[in-house]
């Protein structure tokens, strides 16, 4: 059984890309994108935790696009590594924001940290052979 699984490593990467990308679009990206300018401004306000206080709507829109378009790119395996990098940065800001909130803790920030680690790991792993960017 383990030998079979080892031979099908690329199928595992495809499953990871489809599951993570699809859920990220459905749960995180699309609802924020559909939320409009008010939601983008709220999200962009998180940049104040890293000392950036100008253009919150733009930063919120860029973060939302990272979570929507970036996840779509990961799902299909196109511009895979740059998309993963942008999502690592987005998850870093999300983790800092969650940790910095009143009463925030590592537990609060753990989801963003965990997903950020997955995206960082995928930069090294690559999209696999079942992708548009095929290695």
Predicted pLDDT of residue 105: 81
Query: What is the number of other CB atoms lying within 10 angstroms of the CB of residue 51?
Result: 6
Predicted pLDDT of residue 111: 92
Inside any domain, residue 130:
no
Inside any domain, residue 20:
yes
Inside any domain, residue 4:
no
What range defines the domain where residue 78 resides?
9-125
- 65 contacts 33 by C-beta, under 8 angstroms: yes
**Those residues with Cβ within 8 angstroms of residue 105's Cβ, 6 or more apart along the chain or in another chain:** 99
Instruction: Return averaged pLDDT per consecutive 10 residues of the chain, 135 residues in all.
Output: 81 96 95 93 88 92 96 96 97 92 80 96 95 78
Predicted pLDDT of residue 115: 96
Inside any domain, residue 84:
yes
Half-sphere exposure of 91 (CA within 13 A, CB side): 21
Inside any domain, residue 106:
yes
Inside any domain, residue 132:
no
Distance separating alpha carbons of residues 128 and 135, to the nearest angstrom: 6
Predicted pLDDT of residue 95: 94
Q: Number of structural domains, the chain?
A: 1
Inside any domain, residue 56:
yes
Predicted pLDDT of residue 45: 87
Inside any domain, residue 1:
no
């Amino acid at each position: 059984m383990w030998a079979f699984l080892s031979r099908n490593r690329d199928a595992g990467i495809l499953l990871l890309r489809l599951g993570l990308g699809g859920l990220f679009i459905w749960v995180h990206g699309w609802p924020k994108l559909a939320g409009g300018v008010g939601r983008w401004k709220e999200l962009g306000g998180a940049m104040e935790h890293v000392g950036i206080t100008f253009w919150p709507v733009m930063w919120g829109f860029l973060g939302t696009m990272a979570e929507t378009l970036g996840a779509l790119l990961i799902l299909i395996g196109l511009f895979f590594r740059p998309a993963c990098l942008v999502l690592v940065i987005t998850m870093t800001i999300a983790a800092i924001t969650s940790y910095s909130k009143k009463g925030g803790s590592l537990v609060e920030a753990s989801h963003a940290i965990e997903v950020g680690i997955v995206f960082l790991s995928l930069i090294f792993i690559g999209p696999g052979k079942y992708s548009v960017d095929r290695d």
